[in-house]
Chain A
């Protein structure tokens, strides 16, 4: 870790903390129907949407109907993304004449974008037409993020209400998340990114003559370079803000036209944690006790900072396997990294993007040192609750909070309570599902993949690193992250199918129990704070919550990690 790296990390954390509070309060206003003045001019548009869709915005629904609406919307979304890819060859806005995407890849991508995972089995510039990028992928970047935020808003209402059989209106939460939060932020960020050099055009790719002819295939020279361009900035802005992560180009935010300068890098990195962090404070505001929001945010930050330390130090030390060759590794482990970001900002990004379920990359995680890669992989395996996805991160973390109060209750022999609600057997069962389903999907999926020849054939690196590639892919898909150890050749029917299933379980296997918890909590009476109530805004609870997350993650994944990154680390030359 260099001094400059340390300063940048400090600035990053400060900027994040400074932006989280105002945005958190802003979002609380949006979800409580007090539309903030700065976006109030969009209200007629909101009402128009409800009128056309025949939605009564004031009609609230219970958790089952909320879940039905969510599932219906996700299904329609996935089908539409699938269809656009399959027909892009005959649809307009395809200047490169790209053909229809294969059925298995289109399924994988449709699920991937519909579940806010944004795993990419394909290379963007060589696969997707501009129409597909805009109408399928950009749209899902918005609405899948908005759906996650809607579910969180419903869960928060479960805590803030009592004796109620409704938890809000899915369509209203979806529309408001998109219209008042994601759209304005994306518009501003996209334009700032263009000013830095991110492309935004519908023209065909540019062809230029190389200054010096380069090597070509079959001993021929390459005289020209075709530069892929496109409407990238608009998609990059929302892929960061909506914790989507699906890049416009194959190299994602390592691509200079997607992330051209250190400033664009800092802003993209800030954007990917901004909403998940701010939502903690939205939560505090909506339940009427801001300290609770800060407590959850603090627990997330503790684990986050520890992982930054691990990854930045590991990458900064360079690759011991290259040390004997006479390379000066003062720059750190630079394989797969860009000079303008350097090792420190690449490692910080890797931790931020896997802490959030974003998955955009500005360097290639497959080439990270074993410990750097471990930090990224483990943050996903924790269940994407250290910030996590927009909405999904915090609702996952609140399931961990239920487990934490339950554990504390067991220790002192009292009925657990959280935020004035008694936590019963039903809530605990649902919270356990939320935590265990993705864990099981990662481990079972990895076991299936390493047992079958199709699973092993896709591995690009020999030894334990090959196992890490598979474990990383399943961790990423099951927790809806989307980043990859990209050497794994995952664009084939086996992995497209397996990872597609993992993404579906990781998304809906978590969302539905969360909505059930929301419904159950909303129906409960409020329990007054008594002498036996465990205060949940204190440093003690912050430590307990962080410890529960870390212990569950460590116990579940230590054996698997030992076979991958840990043994690889032990194999490094001293």
Chain B
């Protein structure tokens, strides 16, 4: 056993150099050269300063912005330094209450809204989901248009611009990037 332990220490040290030092450094070096934007968090830069990451959602609650998925991160929603979901079980009364409150909230601003897409009222797994479904964007289009004094067609055109289809036409689900959509809404309204 003593011999096995000595060999173990030396082997672990060498495999650490290989997999814990050399490997991450090589990946970092290649990544920083070949894919610098992605490797550093896919930051969106406007007027020289980062306003967010195109992969990380932000909290939106005002009528002028499209809302993203509800976020269960703690202590504040969309806390990108502490990701996580609600972990509410399917029969937990807190899940039903939360969904009911979100529906009431949406209907306050858009009375009579029916068939609310499920992703708009359920918390994402990461609490940072940057996307909503196209149906969830459509459900908010007229509210945002009214609040900004834009035509619904203008707003829909922006939704389409920030929609992504299935990757290669097959993989994943169609989706709309909420932060990019809201940024371009701001740009559109600021224009003279």
Q: Are A and B a genuine interacting pair, yes or no?
A: yes
Q: Is A225's CB under 8 angstroms from B58's CB?
A: yes
Residues A187 and B1 in contact, CB atoms below 8 Å apart: no
- Let me know if A412 is at the binding interface, CB within 8 A: no
Task: List B63-106 residues whose CB lies under 8 Å from chain A.
Answer: 65, 69, 75-93, 95-96, 99-100, 103
- Provide the A215-242 mask, 1 if CB < 8 A to any CB of B, else 0: 1110000100111110101110110000
Give B22's nearest chain A residue, CB to CB. Answer: A183
| Residue B123 lies at the interface, judged by CB distance under 8 Å to chain A | yes
Interface contact A326-B131, CB-CB below 8 Å: no
Q: Does A186 contact B (CB under 8 A)?
A: yes
Q: Using known A-B contacts A194-B38, A208-B51, A339-B132, determine if residue A257 contacts B123 with beta carbons closer than 8 Å.
A: no
Provide a sorted-by-A list of 8 A–B residue pairs whose CB atoms are within 8 angstroms. A135-B21, A197-B55, A201-B41, A330-B117, A335-B122, A461-B91, A465-B91, A572-B90
What's the nearest-Cβ distance from chain B to residue A420, in Å?
A: 32
Q: Residues of A at under 8 Å CB distance from B?
A: 4, 7-8, 11, 49, 52-55, 65, 68-69, 71-73, 75-77, 80, 123, 125-126, 134-136, 138-139, 141-143, 171, 174-175, 178-179, 182-183, 186-187, 190-191, 194-203, 205-206, 208-212, 214-217, 222, 225-229, 231, 233-235, 237-238, 249-251, 254-257, 260-263, 265-266, 318-319, 321-322, 325-342, 345-346, 361-364, 366-370, 460-463, 465, 468, 485-487, 568, 571-572
Chain B residues with CB under 8 A of A322: 95-96, 99, 118
For B, the interface residue count at a CB cutoff of 8 angstroms equals: 103
The interface residues of chain B lying within 8 Å CB-to-CB of A214 are: 58-61, 76-78
The CA-CA distance from A65 to B3 in the complex, in Å, is: 11
Q: Quick one: which of B118-144 are within 8 Å of A by CB? A: 118-119, 121-133, 135
**Is the Cβ of B40 less than 8 Å from the Cβ of A75?**
no
Task: Assess whether B23 is in contact with A325, with CB atoms less than 8 Å apart.
Answer: no
Instruction: Pick the contact of B125: A143, A235, A336 (CB < 8 A).
Output: A336
Kindly report which residue of chain A lies nearest to residue B69, judged by CB atoms.
A339
Contact with A along B2-15 (1 / 0, CB 8 A): 00110111111011
Chain B: minimal CB distance from A57 (Å): 12
B42 touches A233 (CB 8 A): no
Interchain CB contact under 8 A, A261 and B125: no
Q: How far is the CB of B24 from chain A (nearest CB, A)?
A: 4
Q: B165 → chain A, closest Cβ, in Å?
A: 10
CA distance A233 to B11 in the complex (A): 25
Distance in Å: Cβ of A377 to nearest Cβ of chain B = 13
> A197-B42, A340-B131 are contacts. A487–B122 as well, Cβ < 8 Å?
no
Q: How far is the CB of B85 from chain A (nearest CB, A)?
A: 4
- Interface residue from A174, A201, A205 paired with B81 (Cβ < 8 Å): A205
A196 to chain B: closest residue by CB: B38
Chain B positions within 8 Å of A, measured between CB atoms, are 1, 4-5, 7-12, 14-16, 18-21, 23-24, 26-28, 30-32, 34-35, 38-43, 49-53, 55-62, 65, 69, 75-93, 95-96, 99-100, 103, 114-119, 121-133, 135, 166-168, 170-173, 175, 179, 182-183, 186
Q: Is the CB of B58 within 8 A of A211?
A: yes
Could you say which of A76, A178, A212, A346 contacts B18, with CB atoms under 8 Å apart?
Answer: A178
A424 to B: closest C-beta gap in Å: 29
A125 to B81, CA, bound (A): 6
Considering only CB atoms, which chain A residue lies closest to B136 in the complex?
A339
How far, in Å, is A237 (CB) from chain B's closest CB? 8
A222 lies within 8 A of B84 (CB): no
Does B171 lie within 8 Å of A77, measured CB to CB?
A: no
Bound complex: CA A150 to CA B146 (Å): 65
The reply to whether A209 and B8 contact each other, CB–CB distance below 8 Å, is no
Kindly provide the distance from the CB of A137 to the nearest chain B CB, expressed in whole angstroms: 9
Q: Are B92 and A227 in contact (CB under 8 A)?
A: no
Docked Cα-Cα span, A525 to B39, in Å, equals 56
CA distance A259 to B131 in the complex (A): 13
Q: Which residues of A contact B95 (CB under 8 A)?
A: 319, 321-322, 335, 367
Judging by beta carbons under 8 Å apart, are B11 and A171 in contact? yes
A254-B85 contact, Cβ under 8 Å, with A76-B9, A206-B43: yes
Most chain B beta-carbon contacts within 10 A, residue among A186, A211, A262, A335: A335
Task: Knowing A139-B16, A203-B40 are in contact, say whether A208-B50 is a contact too (CB < 8 A).
Answer: yes
Residues on the B chain within 8 Å of A191, using CB? 27, 30-31, 34-35
- B100: A residues at CB distance < 8 A: 325
Q: With the chains together, A538 CA to B121 CA distance in Å?
A: 50
B124/A331 in contact, CB under 8 A: no
**7 additional A-B residue pairs with CB within 8 Å, beyond A171-B11, A225-B52:** A55-B11, A214-B78, A251-B83, A256-B55, A321-B91, A322-B118, A333-B118
Instruction: Pick the residue among A54, A202, A215 that contacts B28 (CB under 8 A).
Output: A202
CB closest residue in chain B, given A486: B87
List B contacts of A333 (CB < 8 A): 90, 118
Residue of B nearest to A249 (CB): B83
B130 touches A256 (CB 8 A): yes
Closest chain B CB from A184 CB (angstroms) = 10
Give the interface centre of B69, B83, B130, B168 by most chain A CB atoms within 10 Å: B83
* Interface contact A251-B126, CB-CB below 8 Å: yes
**Residue ID in chain A nearest B121 by CB atoms:** A327
List of A residues within 8 angstroms of B38 by Cβ: 194-199
Whether A262 lies near B171 (C-beta < 8 A) is: yes
**By the criterion CB–CB under 8 Å, are A262 and B172 in contact?**
yes
Q: Decide if B96 touches A339 in the complex (CB within 8 Å).
A: no
Contact B125 A362 (CB under 8 A): yes
